[in-house]
Amino acid sequence: MPDPVSDAAIIAALGRQMSRAVAKQTVAAGNLANLDTPGFRTQEVRFADALDQELGAAATVRATDTRHFGAGAGARDAGDVTESGGLASRRDGNNVQLDRELLSLTRAGGEFSAAQTMLAAKFRLVRYAINEGR
C-alpha cells in the first residue's frame, strides 16, 4: 500500500495554490489597469505544473521526501510573468482584452476560495480531533 500524503504536504500544496491564485489576480489587475495604455502588452503568470500534472495523471501520489511537495526549506514555487502570445493588438499597440482579464480574475478568485475552503476544513478536523480527546 502506498504511503499516504502527509498533512504538512497537503497544507503546503494548498498554500501554494492560494499563492498562485493571488499572483494570477495581481497580473490580471495590472493588465486591467493598463487597458488604455498605448503599447501595453498583456502579461500572464506561468507556473511549473509538474505536480498538477502528476496529481491529474495518477490515482495516488507518494511523498518519499518532504521537498517533493514543496514542504522543505529549499522549495519554491515561483511563477514567471511573461507576455501573452497570440492576442490581437489594437491600433495603439495594446492587446489587453477586458473579457479575458475579468474571466482570469474570476477564475483566480474561485481557485483561492476553493483552496481556502479546503484548508479551513482541514483545520476544523484537527480542532475536532483535539476537542474529542478531552
pLDDT, tens digit, for every residue of 27-53? 999 999 999 999 999 999 887 554 555
DSSP alpha helix (H) spans, 65-97:
none
> Domains of the chain: which residue ranges?
7-132
Can you tell me the distance from the alpha carbon of 49 to that of 75, in angstroms, rounded to the nearest whole number?
14
User: What's phi and psi for 81, nearest 5 deg?
Assistant: -90, 120
| Integer angstrom CA distances of residue 38 from 1, 20, 34, 46 | 59, 28, 8, 24
The more confident residue out of 59 and 113 is: 113
Does pTM top 0.95 for this prediction? no
* CA neighbor of 8 nearest in space, from 56, 72, 60: 72
The more confident residue out of 117 and 76 is: 117
pLDDT, tens digit, for every residue of 5-26? 788 888 888 999 999 999 999 9
